[in-house]
Structure formats: structure tokens, C-alpha cells
Chains A and B, each alone.
Chain A
Amino acid sequence: MMSPPPSPSGPPPSTALRAEPDSPARPAAGARVVRRALVVREVGIVAALVLLVAVTATVNPRFLSAQSVKDLLLGSTILAILAVGQTIVVVSRNVDLSVGSVLGLAAFATGSLFVASPDLPIPVVLLAGVGLGAVCGAVNGALIAAARVPALVVTLGTLYVFRGLDYTWATGRQINAADMPPAFLRLGTRTILGLPVLTMFAIVVLVAAGLYLRWYSSGRELYAIGSNPDAAHLAGIPVGRRVFGAFVASGALAGLAGVLYAARFGTLDANAGLGFELNVIAAVVVGGVAIFGGSGSVYGAAIGAVLLVTIGSALPVLGVNPFWQRAAVGVLILAAIGLDRALSARLARRLRGGSGGV
């Protein structure tokens, strides 16, 4: 979707080819450097989160009350699920701007289903929302993979198309909590052992996507595509099919998020999830996923989502004018990008020099 980042200048000849025996330490050095860099990246976000919570809790201890933590987790859940889906797309050097609209569509569909037949089992409604999202994702994926149109443009278009469908369908109506079965609404508030049920959905999604991207062939191929699309083609990776799959996954997760949105808020109109896409991309970038693809993890993106939501609730507690909140998010994004640049420059130096200093 975008041009690749400027490649660093050609590497000097490596030492690895020379015939003299390598020191036994060297083979592991590269991996250690990389692992340390990744750790630093994710530790960085966690540290920022911990710092924020600590400072806020010092100012106002109620910030750490069970209710407040529960609210934070609930608030993060939907953003985190969307961020996981977005990560799957972004690592393949694409982007999905339509997630907010898909969420809105799925949320309104959920409400409408219950209005039409209140006795529908909850799992069926969940599946319907996920399925609707997957269909939306398939539309995105088909346009991008088959018509070879950049994802940025396609999903910008479908952002408006899906939202338009939502408006047409809703025609100004609002669906209220009274229209939905209490069992479904309890899904949005219930906790098990202090953990909100909605958050459990997010954790399951997070772990599943994390395992998929790390340990499954097609998951690694998404990273390969994002890392070097031409090479991916030469390596015989079915690039179109993988990218299509990524968009279906992102759409399906946006659909799931839509159903959970309905359960949490109960009141639904055609504006649900309006403008969410930028929050999602912010969470992904803050979480250390490279916007040009090839690197980053769903865990980082999820922590990024939690961090953004936490800032939103911490700033008022700290007495910061809520108008500053957006600026704070912006600064965070810029700081995250700065950190990534610094780390990758350092990493490149280490990998090249072999024995080079820090």
C-alpha cells in the first residue's frame, strides 16, 4: 500500500565468511541482540503503562479500585480486539481503515437480530456478527488481492460504503437496551474472578492470533510478505490468498468487536464505532508494529490499546484538561516511532558490526 522505507546503505562485508574459526560466542550473539531489542520494545510500552498507572494512583488511589480497573479493562477490550485484527493486516504491509464501520454494522446487526427474534441463542448472534464482519473483510480482501488496488484506498472507500449501509439500514432508528435480552447485556458487565467476560474474549483472541502469527506457516508468510513483497512472490508464497485471509480475519474480529460493543453499551445507532479506525492504528503503532510491515506482535498492539485507553482515563484524574488528551496520544505515537527508529538503527549497527559497540 505504501512505498517501502528507505533501505539502509549497503552493508560492509561481513566477517562470517572468513575461514578463521569463529569465536564460540558469536553464533548466538545476533539472536541475543534481536531478542533484547524486542524485549526492550515491549518492556518500553509496559513501563510507560506502569509509570502512568503509578503516578495516577499516587495522585488518586481510587484509580486502582476494583471498579476502576474493571472499567479500564472493559474499555480496552474492544480496541484491543480491533488492534489484533489490524496487526494481522499491518504486518503484511497493508492497512484496514474500514474496521470502525464494520464494527458499527455488526453492532447494529446484533441489535436488529434481537429485535426480530429475542429468543435467539447468544452464540448464534456472536457467529452472525463475526460472519458479517468476515464478509466485509472478504470484500476488502478481494478488491485488494484481485484488483491489486492499494489497501489504503480500498478500505478508505469501504469505510464510507459500510457506514453508508449502516445509515441506510438504521434510518435514524435507535436500538435500546430494552430491545435486547438481559442475558446478552449481562455479557457486557459480568465478571468471573474479577475479570470481565468481555476481556476474556479479547484474551482468547489475542493468544490465538499470537500463536497463529508465531507458529503457523501462513502466519509467518504474512510477515514475509510485509518484509519483502517481491521476494515473497519469488519464494512461491500465495501472496494474494494470504492478504485476502488477513483482511477476512481483520473483518471477522471487527464483527466480533461489534457484537461485544452491543453487549457493553446496549444503546445502538448507526454511529457506533465512528472514527475508531484511527484509534486502532494508533494502538498498533504505539505497540511497536512497523507500519511498513514485517515486524511487530499482537501482544504489543494489545498493550498499546490498553495504554491509550488508560491515558484517556488517567488524564482527567491527574487534573489535565481533557482537551489535552488527544495531544497526549499524538505525543505517544511520535515517541513510539522515535523509539522504534532508535532501536532499529542500533540493531542494524549491532547486526552489521558483529563485534561493534553499543
Chain B
Amino acid sequence: MEPLLALTGVSKSFGAVAALRDVRLELRGHEVHGLVGENGAGKSTLVKILAGVHAPDRGVVTLDGRELVLAGPADARAAGIAVIYQEPALFPDLSVAENIFIARQPLRGLRRIDGAALRARTRELFARLGVHLDPDRPARGLSIADQQLVEIAKALSFDARVVVMDEPTSALSGAEVERLFSVARTLRDAGAAVLFISHRFEEIFALCQRITVLRDGHWISTDPAEDLTVDSLVRRMVGRDISAMYPKSQASAGPARLEVRGLTRSGAFSDVSFTVHGGEIVALAGLVGAGRTEVIRAVFGVDRFDAGEVVVDGRRLPPGDTPAAIAAGLALVPEDRRAQGLVMELSVARNLTLPRRWSLSRFGLLLAGAESRSARTWADRLRVKTARVTDPVSTLSGGNQQKVVLAKWLSTRPGVLIVDEPTRGIDVGTKAEVHGLLSRLAADGVAVLMVSSELPEVLGMADRVLVMHEGRLVADIPRARADERSVMLAATGQRGEP
């Protein structure tokens, strides 16, 4: 069968990071096509190429066998490709009808917008979708599900032949997912090609005829859904050898240093309880959006929580008090080092000593000599590659920036170190250094809690793996029983764990 839309040999890099390498994808009319892969496998990049947001470095996109050049979102729309994002981008101040027909409103004499036709056509679209929404109400205040329906109505309005749904169900309730499915089937039956991206296998199998797997930016397989099982899909998504680059030595667990009991914040996570002992590296695994970052932010006192408590070395922390958390010996290396971990314009030295600025001061004035001596010591200890510690930290590579963030917190000599995605976007060599460092810290008696979306890192480094799924802690897997399958099944909400 001729594909409606085909990607052949598509590659895309961002700086040194190759997001997609030689990827292929064939979408057929009358078909819902599933796309699965781990976080960072390249799904979002692929969606953005189809949306015209990114242009591929290499490779071709063809529609009906003719090559398609997508220079911008308008080109994608003109070609009949509609993208429904996880969180749709609507215009909150404009009416629902205007949102659907923006830049393509029906016109009457003197090129005026035909308000009556606008409303009537919106009603007609909603009727086809079986939706009750008022065309005249502003988009502000619509639920995510309703916003997606507005986007789908937009796709219908220009007779989109290819509809891409990028994790549309992650914010929906059960009933809303059902409604979305019936809409997707309606589109399929009308001849459209639907690309459906989801982390939930039951949805993929319920909806899709064929399933494509991406891993590390590579195309792995495309098969009819009936030839696949959850197990075989998971194996294809993760199927990597865990190399010997994870130097975790088995440490003897010391006393409990971080205890989290019944931590709850409505809408984000609920009843999360765990303990991290000195000398232990505990990984917090789960899919993006499972609530891992929210939990550690609450533990560190950045965000408030509704119920529960955090105990460090036997002392209860006051909630929402970051200075108290630091004083108790907690340190957090955040996920987004550029936005949260570093002050990019300041020097390496200033960044390194920021949490200790008072101990390096006399009469409230920072001692320049003490600052640069201390900075030099820590930069050397972590082998930060920088010409001068007075250079702005923004001039360093990603890996070296990450080392500065780590050094900054290690210099406070924390008892509990929380790292969020410690090796995201840094090169393999630096990765190994960071892993070695975490391992040595654990050996020194520090309790390490590591949030990571990279399964090999989780399995290679952790003494225990905690898995979160939709705001709940669903599994606590000891190193001996932790493997890709058990973690992945727990993370996707399957009953993998006995």
C-alpha cells in the first residue's frame, strides 16, 4: 500500500547532540500509527519536523510520493498536516471559533471576516466531533481535553490528511481519553493518517494498527500491532547493553539519612514515602510527567506540599524552607542547569562559592582571595575544564557546567545529595566522571537520590530503584531484581512487579 506520508533517511542534530539519525516512518491513510520510544528517543523532534518547526538536516519528507519542503508551520498546514500537542497552544483571549479559523477566517464583502459563517462552521465541526462547546467563548479557562478538541476541530477544518497527536492523553481523564479515541477513529475512517504518540501501551494497542519504535534517535522497527506484545515493545524500546561504564561499587548501607513520609501535593503527587540511607544511591525512575521532579522540589523545600513530612538525619524539616533544608545537609542539583543550577553571566568562581558566600565573607564582604582559592580547589577536584575561574560560566561546555553545579553543592559537604537528570545532554566521557563522583560520594557515606530518565544509568548506578507512575510511588526494586523490563513495566503502570 502506498504511504500517504513518508520520512526517509531523516537526520537532525542540535549542536553536538544527534536527535534523529537516518529515521524512516511511513504513514498510510485509514491508519492509526503508533510511535513509541523512551524519553529522549527523538519522538518530539520528529513531531516538530512534521509540524514544520524544525527542518531536517538530511533526508526527505514525501506526501503522496511528492517531496515536501516544510519551511515553517504554515507550510505544514498548507500540506494538510495537523499537530495536536500534549498541551495545545491556543490564544486565550480569542474565541474558540477564532482559534480554529485564525489566519483562515471565512470572509465576506470587502474582505471582512464573516462572523456568522465563522460561528456556523465551528458549530458544524463540533457537531461532527460530537462536542458541546460554545464557539463564542474565549479559549481561556478551557480544560486541556477541551483545548485538544479545539485543535482537532482545527485539523478537521482544513481537511488535514495527516494528524499527529503528541502524547495527547497524558493530561486526560479516562472518559476524556475515550472521547479522544473515538475522534481519532473518526478521522481514520475518513481516510486520514493518524500518528499517535503515547507512553501508555494499553492505549497504543487499543488504537493503533502499526507501531514504530524509536531508540536513541534511530528507527528500530515498524510492525503490525497484532505481531507485538507489551514485552516485545519494551525490549525494543530499551534494548541496550549496559556497558561497564557504571562504576558503582556495592556500598554497605548506613543509617537512614533522608526519610520521606506520606508526601502529598494535590494534582502533582500523593502519598510518596521512601528512605535513603547513607552510602546508598537510590534512583527515582519514571516517565516524564510522573511527578519525580515535583517530589524532589518539595523535599528540598522549593515547593510547598499539602501533607506528609521530610526527615533528614532524624530531624524534621520545616516545609517550604529551602535555607533550612540546606542547613540540614540537603543539596539539590537541578535538572535544568542553565535556568536553575547556574547564574550563567557570573564567573565560575562566583558560581562555585554561591551557597557558601557567608562563610567566605568577613563583616558581610566577600573575601576575593578566599573565594578564588576555594573555587580553584573545587574546580581542580572535579576537573572542570576552564581557562580561568573568572570566566563566565556560560563559556563552558555542558558537561563542565554540570561539574560546576555539582562542585558548588559538594563544597557545602551535604549529607544528602539529590541530583535531577545528572547527565542529561553531556558527553559520554563526562558522564562517566559524574557517575564515578556519585559513586565515591556514596562510599563516603552520603545518601544519594538520583532522578534519571536514562534506564542504563538507573540500572548501572542505583542500589535501589524507586519507580513513579502518575504521581504515585509504584515500585521499590532492589538492585538484584532491577532490570529494564521491571522498571519499564512499573513506569508505564503495568503490573510488572510481583
Binding site for B on A (CB under 8 A): 10-14, 16-19, 22, 26-31, 33-34, 215-217, 220-221, 223-224, 226-228, 230-238, 290, 294-295, 347-348, 351-352
Contacts and interface: CB of A to CB of B under 8 A. Distances in A.
A231 B90 contact: yes
Contact of B143 (A13, A238, A295): A13
Interface residues of B, number: 42
B73 A234 contact: yes
Contact of A10 (B53, B73, B91, B267): B267
A253 to B, nearest CB: 21
B132 A27 contact: yes
A220 B92 contact: no
A16 B142 CA distance: 9
Interface in B89-142: 89-95, 98, 102-103, 105, 107, 111-113, 115, 131-134, 136-138, 140-142
Contacts of B107: 217
Contacts of A217: 103, 105, 107, 111, 113
B93 A216 contact: no
Contacts of A295: 93
Nearest to A294: B93
A350 to B, nearest CB: 8
Nearest to B114: A215
22 contacts: A11-B143, A16-B133, A16-B142, A17-B149, A26-B134, A28-B134, A31-B95, A31-B134, A31-B136, A34-B136, A34-B137, A216-B113, A217-B103, A220-B94, A220-B98, A226-B93, A235-B102, A236-B73, A236-B74, A236-B103, A348-B141, A352-B141
Interface string B256-285: 000000000001000000000000000000
Contacts of B111: 216-217
Contact of A351 (B72, B89, B141, B145): B141
Given A14-B146, A34-B136, 20 more contacts: A10-B267, A11-B143, A13-B143, A13-B176, A17-B176, A19-B175, A27-B134, A29-B134, A215-B113, A216-B113, A220-B98, A223-B93, A224-B102, A228-B89, A231-B89, A234-B51, A235-B73, A238-B74, A294-B93, A351-B141
SS class of chain B's interface: helix, strand, loop or mixed? loop
Interface of B: 51, 53, 72-74, 77, 89-95, 98, 102-103, 105, 107, 111-113, 115, 131-134, 136-138, 140-146, 149, 173, 175-176, 179, 267
What 5 pairs between A and B have smallest CB-CB spacing? A30-B137, A236-B74, A31-B136, A231-B89, A351-B141
Contacts of A237: 102-103
Contacts of A216: 111-113
A30 B139 CA distance: 10
Contacts of B145: 13-14, 17
A233 B132 contact: no
Contact of A224 (B94, B131, B137, B179): B94
Contacts of A238: 74
Contacts of A26: 132, 134
A249 B471 CA distance: 51
Nearest to A235: B102
B175 A16 contact: no
Contacts of A294: 91-94
Nearest to B148: A17
B134 A234 contact: no
B101 to A, nearest CB: 9
B175 A17 contact: yes
Nearest to B176: A17
Given A224-B94, A227-B93, A351 B138 contact: yes
A347 B74 CA distance: 33
A351 B94 contact: no
Contacts of B136: 28, 30-31, 34
Given A223-B91, A237-B103, A352-B141, A22 B146 contact: no
B148 to A, nearest CB: 10
Contacts of B267: 10
B90 A14 contact: no
Contacts of B74: 236, 238
B131 A30 contact: no
B485 to A, nearest CB: 33
A16 B131 contact: yes
A235 B173 contact: no
Given A216-B112, A224-B102, A351-B140, A232 B134 contact: no
Contacts of B92: 227-228, 294
A221 to B, nearest CB: 6
Contacts of A29: 134
Contacts of B140: 347-348, 351
A221 B134 CA distance: 21
A271 to B, nearest CB: 38
Contacts of B141: 11, 348, 351-352
Nearest to A292: B93
A233 B103 CA distance: 11
Nearest to B141: A351
Nearest to B91: A227
Contact of B138 (A12, A19, A34, A290): A34
Given A223-B93, A236-B77, A16 B103 contact: no
Contacts of B179: 17, 19
Nearest to B267: A10
Contacts of A10: 144, 267
A165 B144 CA distance: 52
Given A228-B90, A231-B89, A234-B53, A16 B132 contact: yes
Nearest to B89: A231
Nearest to A21: B132
Nearest to B92: A227
Given A227-B92, A294-B91, A348-B140, A17 B131 contact: yes
Contacts of B113: 215-217, 220
Contacts of B149: 17
Given A30-B136, A31-B134, A16 B146 contact: yes
A235 B98 CA distance: 12
A238 B71 CA distance: 13
Contacts of A221: 102-103
